């Protein structure tokens, strides 16, 4: 069960990649990165609740995985803006 936590990132990245690119294009880098940081922060705070139940870790991992594409796609968008 614990080893499957890494696969959550890969599965959710495929799904959230296109909406995150849309937010980065329409909302801009600042909004996109702030959304990614907020979701990652929220996910990490939920993972701290591991002493109560392992379900908190799963929910935290999923929320942090939703924020990952916002952060990992931002450098490519920044390079495209600077070096058009």
Q: 42, 15 in Cβ contact below 8 A?
A: no
> Which 3-state string (H, E, C) describes the chain?
CCCCHHHHHHHHHHHHHHHHHHHHHHCCHHHHHHHHHHHHHHHHHHHHHHHCCHHHHHHHHHHHHHHHHHHHCHHHHHHHHHCC
Tell me whether residue 21 is in a domain. no
Tell me whether residue 50 is in a domain. yes
Give me the number of domains the chain comprises: 1
Tell me whether residue 67 is in a domain. yes
- The predicted pLDDT at position 34 comes to 97
The whole-model pTM stands at 0.88
Q: What is the pLDDT along the chain (84 residues), one digit of tens a residue?
A: 778 888 988 999 999 999 999 999 999 999 999 999 999 999 999 999 988 988 999 999 999 999 999 999 999 999 988 887
- The predicted pLDDT at position 68 comes to 94
Tell me whether residue 5 is in a domain. no
- The predicted pLDDT at position 81 comes to 87
- The predicted pLDDT at position 2 comes to 78
- The predicted pLDDT at position 79 comes to 92
Range of the domain at 35: 26-76
């Amino acid at each position: 069960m614990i080893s499957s936590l890494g696969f959550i990132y890969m599965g959710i990245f495929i799904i959230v990649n296109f909406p995150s690119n849309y937010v980065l294009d329409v909302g801009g880098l600042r909004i996109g990165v702030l959304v990614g940081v907020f979701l990652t922060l929220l996910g990490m705070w939920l993972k701290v609740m591991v002493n109560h139940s392992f379900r908190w870790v799963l929910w935290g991992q999923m929320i942090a995985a939703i924020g990952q594409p916002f952060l990992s796609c931002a450098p490519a968008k920044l390079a495209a803006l600077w070096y058009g």
